[in-house]
Amino acid sequence: MFQEFKVYEVTLEVNDNGRIQLQRIQAPRVMIEHQFLGLMEQASKVNRPIRIKMSRTEPYFDQYEQRNIPQESNLIFANNSYVSTHSEEFKE
């Protein structure tokens, strides 16, 4: 009947025209995805420059050093207004 979900901890960083808000979320993956998609949709509908970054840190085992090393993974969305005003961020 009741199914347990793995809980993830992520940090959401929303840069709304230079004003940065940070939020830590602990929730099942589907809820985190839903929130990120909702923020993307909201950001895509406004003309203010908005960037959304979701990140989490996970350890990976370094065989050479024989220890766990933290590694950050992130996903970034920026609306058209942000990309046009901060194009230097998106150059390789």
pLDDT tens digits, 67-81: 999 999 999 999 999
pTM to 2 decimal places = 0.83
**Greatest Cα pair distance in the chain:** 51
Strand boundaries in the chain, DSSP class E: 7-16, 19-28, 50-62, 67-78
* Domain locations along the chain: 7-90
Which tokens sit at 26?
């602990």
For residue range 23-79, list pLDDT tens digits in order. 999 999 999 999 999 999 999 999 999 999 999 999 889 899 899 999 999 999 999
- Burial (CB < 10 A; 0-12, 13-18, 19+), residue 81, is middle
The Cβ-side half-sphere exposure at 65, using a 13 Å CA radius, reads 7
Q: 1 pLDDT exceeds 60?
A: no
The pLDDT, as a whole number, for residue 3 is 66
Q: To which residue do tokens 């996970």 refer?
A: 58
